[in-house]
Amino acid sequence: MQADIGWAVKKTALSTEDRQLFMEPWKPQEQRDFPFSVHNVKNGKQRTRKLMPSHLEKFPWLSVSRVPGVEGAFCTPCVLFSCGEGVGGRGDGRGQKTGILVSKPLCRFDDLTGKQGILSAHENKLYHAQSFTAMDEFRKRTAEGEGEHDIRSRLDKARQDQVQKNREALLPIIDTLLMCARQNIALRGHRGEDKAIVGCFEPAENDGNFRALLRYRMRGGDVALCNHLTGAAANATYLSATIQNELLIVAADLIREKITTQIRLAGCWALIADETMDLQKRE
Protein backbone atom coordinates (compact mmCIF):
# COMPACT_ATOMS: atom_id res chain seq x y z
CA MET A 1 0.00 0.00 0.00
CA GLN A 2 1.59 3.22 -1.19
CA ALA A 3 0.01 5.46 1.49
CA ASP A 4 1.00 3.24 4.42
CA ILE A 5 2.52 5.54 7.08
CA GLY A 6 5.31 3.00 7.58
CA TRP A 7 6.92 4.09 4.30
CA ALA A 8 7.13 7.65 5.63
CA VAL A 9 8.77 6.39 8.84
CA LYS A 10 11.43 4.59 6.80
CA LYS A 11 12.31 7.68 4.74
CA THR A 12 15.29 9.74 5.93
CA ALA A 13 13.78 12.94 4.52
CA LEU A 14 10.26 13.86 3.46
CA SER A 15 9.46 16.05 0.48
CA THR A 16 6.38 18.21 0.07
CA GLU A 17 4.87 15.51 -2.15
CA ASP A 18 5.56 12.85 0.51
CA ARG A 19 3.78 14.87 3.19
CA GLN A 20 0.81 15.50 0.92
CA LEU A 21 0.55 11.77 0.23
CA PHE A 22 0.86 10.55 3.83
CA MET A 23 -1.38 13.20 5.44
CA GLU A 24 -4.26 10.86 4.54
CA PRO A 25 -2.59 7.50 5.25
CA TRP A 26 -4.10 4.07 4.93
CA LYS A 27 -6.18 2.97 7.92
CA PRO A 28 -7.59 -0.50 8.57
CA GLN A 29 -11.26 -1.05 7.80
CA GLU A 30 -11.67 -4.72 8.68
CA GLN A 31 -11.09 -6.33 12.06
CA ARG A 32 -8.33 -8.61 10.78
CA ASP A 33 -6.26 -5.59 9.75
CA PHE A 34 -6.10 -4.07 13.25
CA PRO A 35 -2.83 -4.80 15.13
CA PHE A 36 -2.90 -6.63 18.46
CA SER A 37 -0.58 -7.72 21.26
CA VAL A 38 -0.62 -10.76 23.56
CA HIS A 39 0.06 -10.39 27.29
CA ASN A 40 0.69 -12.90 30.06
CA VAL A 41 -1.79 -12.84 32.95
CA LYS A 42 -2.28 -14.92 36.09
CA ASN A 43 -2.20 -18.72 36.07
CA GLY A 44 -0.05 -18.78 32.95
CA LYS A 45 -2.89 -17.61 30.74
CA GLN A 46 -2.58 -15.09 27.94
CA ARG A 47 -4.82 -12.21 27.00
CA THR A 48 -5.08 -10.42 23.67
CA ARG A 49 -5.34 -6.64 23.47
CA LYS A 50 -6.23 -5.03 20.16
CA LEU A 51 -6.37 -1.61 18.57
CA MET A 52 -10.04 -0.91 17.90
CA PRO A 53 -11.99 1.26 15.42
CA SER A 54 -13.10 3.33 18.42
CA HIS A 55 -9.47 4.31 19.01
CA LEU A 56 -9.18 5.62 15.45
CA GLU A 57 -12.37 7.63 15.95
CA LYS A 58 -11.26 9.08 19.29
CA PHE A 59 -7.72 9.82 18.07
CA PRO A 60 -8.04 10.83 14.38
CA TRP A 61 -4.29 11.44 14.18
CA LEU A 62 -3.67 7.71 14.74
CA SER A 63 -2.65 5.55 11.77
CA VAL A 64 -1.55 1.94 11.28
CA SER A 65 1.42 0.50 9.42
CA ARG A 66 1.75 -2.94 7.88
CA VAL A 67 5.19 -2.28 6.41
CA PRO A 68 7.64 -5.01 7.52
CA GLY A 69 9.84 -3.85 10.36
CA VAL A 70 7.54 -1.04 11.46
CA GLU A 71 4.22 -2.84 11.97
CA GLY A 72 2.05 -1.10 14.52
CA ALA A 73 0.45 2.28 15.25
CA PHE A 74 1.88 5.76 14.59
CA CYS A 75 0.94 9.40 15.08
CA THR A 76 0.56 10.83 11.57
CA PRO A 77 1.38 14.52 12.29
CA CYS A 78 4.37 13.62 14.49
CA VAL A 79 5.80 11.28 11.85
CA LEU A 80 5.45 13.93 9.13
CA PHE A 81 6.23 17.15 11.01
CA SER A 82 8.19 16.41 14.20
CA CYS A 83 11.33 18.53 14.51
CA GLY A 84 14.50 17.05 13.08
CA GLU A 85 16.34 18.02 16.26
CA GLY A 86 14.14 15.71 18.30
CA VAL A 87 10.97 16.11 20.34
CA GLY A 88 10.01 16.98 23.92
CA GLY A 89 12.05 18.37 26.80
CA ARG A 90 14.20 21.48 27.25
CA GLY A 91 11.21 23.74 27.51
CA ASP A 92 10.61 24.23 23.79
CA GLY A 93 9.51 20.83 22.49
CA ARG A 94 12.97 19.70 21.38
CA GLY A 95 15.86 17.72 22.76
CA GLN A 96 14.65 14.15 23.23
CA LYS A 97 15.02 11.45 20.62
CA THR A 98 11.84 10.41 18.87
CA GLY A 99 10.31 7.16 20.11
CA ILE A 100 7.00 5.32 20.29
CA LEU A 101 4.35 6.59 17.82
CA VAL A 102 6.93 8.76 16.03
CA SER A 103 9.97 6.79 14.88
CA LYS A 104 8.99 3.47 16.47
CA PRO A 105 5.62 1.73 16.20
CA LEU A 106 3.29 1.26 19.12
CA CYS A 107 3.12 -2.51 19.49
CA ARG A 108 1.53 -2.93 22.94
CA PHE A 109 -2.18 -2.24 23.16
CA ASP A 110 -2.97 -3.04 26.81
CA ASP A 111 -2.95 0.55 28.14
CA LEU A 112 -4.11 3.04 25.49
CA THR A 113 -6.59 5.45 27.05
CA GLY A 114 -7.17 7.10 30.41
CA LYS A 115 -4.96 9.60 32.19
CA GLN A 116 -1.90 7.33 32.02
CA GLY A 117 -2.78 5.68 28.69
CA ILE A 118 -0.12 6.04 26.03
CA LEU A 119 -2.48 7.54 23.41
CA SER A 120 -3.99 10.02 25.87
CA ALA A 121 -0.54 10.97 27.17
CA HIS A 122 0.82 11.44 23.66
CA GLU A 123 -2.09 13.71 22.72
CA ASN A 124 -1.17 16.04 25.62
CA LYS A 125 2.48 16.38 24.58
CA LEU A 126 3.66 19.81 23.46
CA TYR A 127 5.51 18.45 20.43
CA HIS A 128 2.35 16.62 19.33
CA ALA A 129 0.39 19.89 19.44
CA GLN A 130 3.14 21.60 17.46
CA SER A 131 3.19 18.82 14.85
CA PHE A 132 -0.60 18.89 14.57
CA THR A 133 -0.52 22.67 14.07
CA ALA A 134 2.24 22.31 11.47
CA MET A 135 0.25 19.73 9.52
CA ASP A 136 -2.86 21.92 9.58
CA GLU A 137 -0.85 24.91 8.37
CA PHE A 138 0.88 22.81 5.73
CA ARG A 139 -2.48 21.64 4.39
CA LYS A 140 -3.70 25.25 4.13
CA ARG A 141 -0.51 26.59 2.57
CA THR A 142 -0.17 23.86 -0.01
CA ALA A 143 -3.81 24.33 -0.96
CA GLU A 144 -3.12 28.06 -1.41
CA GLY A 145 0.14 27.42 -3.24
CA GLU A 146 2.28 29.19 -0.64
CA GLY A 147 5.61 28.16 0.84
CA GLU A 148 6.44 26.60 4.20
CA HIS A 149 7.77 29.73 5.90
CA ASP A 150 4.50 30.38 7.71
CA ILE A 151 4.57 26.90 9.24
CA ARG A 152 7.50 27.97 11.41
CA SER A 153 5.62 31.12 12.35
CA ARG A 154 2.60 29.06 13.32
CA LEU A 155 4.76 26.72 15.39
CA ASP A 156 6.24 29.70 17.20
CA LYS A 157 2.73 30.99 17.93
CA ALA A 158 1.71 27.56 19.23
CA ARG A 159 4.69 27.65 21.58
CA GLN A 160 3.77 31.15 22.76
CA ASP A 161 0.21 30.00 23.41
CA GLN A 162 1.52 27.06 25.45
CA VAL A 163 3.80 29.35 27.49
CA GLN A 164 0.85 31.66 28.18
CA LYS A 165 -1.30 28.70 29.22
CA ASN A 166 1.41 27.46 31.61
CA ARG A 167 1.74 30.93 33.16
CA GLU A 168 -2.00 31.21 33.68
CA ALA A 169 -1.95 27.86 35.48
CA LEU A 170 1.02 28.83 37.66
CA LEU A 171 -0.21 32.31 38.69
CA PRO A 172 -2.93 31.19 41.16
CA ILE A 173 -0.50 28.67 42.68
CA ILE A 174 2.13 31.38 43.23
CA ASP A 175 -0.46 33.85 44.51
CA THR A 176 -1.75 31.35 47.08
CA LEU A 177 1.77 30.42 48.17
CA LEU A 178 2.83 34.06 48.68
CA MET A 179 -0.38 34.84 50.58
CA CYS A 180 0.43 32.01 53.01
CA ALA A 181 3.98 33.34 53.38
CA ARG A 182 2.84 36.93 54.04
CA GLN A 183 0.25 35.83 56.62
CA ASN A 184 2.61 33.35 58.25
CA ILE A 185 0.25 30.47 57.46
CA ALA A 186 1.76 26.98 57.58
CA LEU A 187 1.71 25.11 54.28
CA ARG A 188 2.05 21.50 55.29
CA GLY A 189 -0.73 19.17 56.34
CA HIS A 190 -0.93 15.94 58.27
CA ARG A 191 -0.64 13.60 55.29
CA GLY A 192 -1.69 13.18 51.65
CA GLU A 193 0.39 16.05 50.25
CA ASP A 194 1.78 13.87 47.48
CA LYS A 195 -1.64 12.99 46.07
CA ALA A 196 -3.32 14.72 43.17
CA ILE A 197 -6.07 17.25 43.90
CA VAL A 198 -9.25 15.61 42.61
CA GLY A 199 -12.19 17.99 42.61
CA CYS A 200 -12.66 21.07 44.76
CA PHE A 201 -13.96 19.43 47.95
CA GLU A 202 -11.87 18.64 51.00
CA PRO A 203 -10.49 15.09 51.39
CA ALA A 204 -10.82 12.97 54.53
CA GLU A 205 -7.16 13.63 55.36
CA ASN A 206 -5.86 17.10 56.19
CA ASP A 207 -3.32 17.78 53.44
CA GLY A 208 -2.51 21.33 54.51
CA ASN A 209 -3.57 24.96 54.23
CA PHE A 210 -1.93 25.50 50.84
CA ARG A 211 -3.89 22.77 49.09
CA ALA A 212 -7.08 23.69 50.97
CA LEU A 213 -6.79 27.28 49.73
CA LEU A 214 -6.33 26.05 46.16
CA ARG A 215 -9.58 24.10 46.46
CA TYR A 216 -11.22 27.23 47.86
CA ARG A 217 -10.13 29.11 44.74
CA MET A 218 -11.51 26.36 42.54
CA ARG A 219 -14.87 26.53 44.31
CA GLY A 220 -14.77 30.28 43.78
CA GLY A 221 -14.60 29.82 40.00
CA ASP A 222 -10.87 29.90 39.15
CA VAL A 223 -11.22 28.22 35.74
CA ALA A 224 -7.50 28.28 34.83
CA LEU A 225 -6.53 26.57 38.09
CA CYS A 226 -9.35 24.03 37.80
CA ASN A 227 -8.39 23.10 34.23
CA HIS A 228 -4.73 22.79 35.20
CA LEU A 229 -5.23 20.57 38.25
CA THR A 230 -7.76 18.29 36.54
CA GLY A 231 -5.82 17.92 33.30
CA ALA A 232 -2.13 18.17 34.19
CA ALA A 233 0.20 15.18 34.22
CA ALA A 234 1.12 13.80 37.64
CA ASN A 235 4.66 15.22 37.33
CA ALA A 236 3.54 18.69 36.19
CA THR A 237 1.03 19.92 38.79
CA TYR A 238 3.57 22.33 40.42
CA LEU A 239 2.23 21.51 43.91
CA SER A 240 5.08 19.51 45.43
CA ALA A 241 7.07 20.67 48.44
CA THR A 242 10.11 21.02 46.17
CA ILE A 243 8.29 23.45 43.87
CA GLN A 244 6.91 25.35 46.87
CA ASN A 245 10.43 25.82 48.25
CA GLU A 246 11.81 26.89 44.87
CA LEU A 247 9.07 29.48 44.43
CA LEU A 248 9.62 30.83 47.95
CA ILE A 249 13.36 31.08 47.32
CA VAL A 250 12.74 33.01 44.10
CA ALA A 251 10.33 35.36 45.93
CA ALA A 252 12.87 35.89 48.73
CA ASP A 253 15.60 36.66 46.19
CA LEU A 254 13.37 39.27 44.51
CA ILE A 255 12.57 40.91 47.86
CA ARG A 256 16.24 40.90 48.82
CA GLU A 257 17.17 42.42 45.45
CA LYS A 258 14.58 45.17 45.86
CA ILE A 259 15.77 46.04 49.39
CA THR A 260 19.39 46.05 48.26
CA THR A 261 18.55 48.42 45.39
CA GLN A 262 16.76 50.81 47.78
CA ILE A 263 19.73 50.76 50.16
CA ARG A 264 22.19 51.53 47.38
CA LEU A 265 20.10 54.47 46.15
CA ALA A 266 19.57 55.91 49.65
CA GLY A 267 21.92 58.55 51.00
CA CYS A 268 21.80 56.95 54.43
CA TRP A 269 19.81 54.24 56.15
CA ALA A 270 19.35 52.55 59.52
CA LEU A 271 18.08 49.30 60.98
CA ILE A 272 15.38 49.13 63.65
CA ALA A 273 15.58 46.01 65.81
CA ASP A 274 12.74 44.89 68.10
CA GLU A 275 13.21 42.87 71.26
CA THR A 276 11.66 39.58 72.30
CA MET A 277 11.21 38.65 75.99
CA ASP A 278 10.90 35.23 77.56
CA LEU A 279 8.47 34.21 80.34
CA GLN A 280 10.70 35.80 82.97
CA LYS A 281 10.45 39.14 81.13
CA ARG A 282 14.10 38.96 80.18
CA GLU A 283 15.08 40.50 76.83
In order along its 283 residues, the chain shows pLDDT tens digits of: 568 898 888 888 888 888 888 888 888 888 888 988 888 877 778 888 889 999 899 999 999 999 999 999 999 999 998 755 556 555 544 555 678 898 889 998 888 888 778 898 888 888 888 888 888 888 887 775 554 455 566 667 777 887 888 888 889 999 999 999 999 998 887 665 667 777 777 777 888 888 889 988 888 888 888 888 877 777 788 888 888 899 999 999 999 999 889 888 888 888 888 888 888 888 8
Residue type, 182: R
Q: Which residues have C-beta within 8 Å of that of residue 208, sequence separation ≥ 6? A: 186, 187, 188, 189, 190, 193
Question: H-helix or E-strand containing 136?
Answer: helix 126-144
- The answer to whether 76 touches 8, Cβ cutoff 8 Å, is no
Burial bucket for residue 221 (CB in 10 Å: 0-12, 13-18, 19+) = exposed
DSSP string, 143-208: HHT--SHHHHHHHHHHHHHHHHHHHHHHHHHHHHHHHHHHTT-----SS-TTS---SSS--SS---
For residue 150, the tally of other CB atoms under 10 A from its CB is 15
Closest to 23 measured CA to CA, from 140, 115, 182: 140
* Residue 159 burial (10 A CB sphere; 0-12, 13-18, 19+): middle
- The rounded distance, in Å, linking the Cα atoms of 174 and 169 is 9
Cβ neighbors of 12 (< 8 A, separation 6 or more) are none
CA angle 139, 145, 149 (to 5 degrees): 70
Residue 40 confidence (pLDDT): 82
List the end-to-end C-alpha distance of the chain, in Å, as a whole number: 88
Q: Where are the domains of the chain?
A: 5-150, 166-264
C-alpha span between 274 and 88 (Å, rounded): 52
Helices (H), 16-85: 16-22, 53-58, 76-81
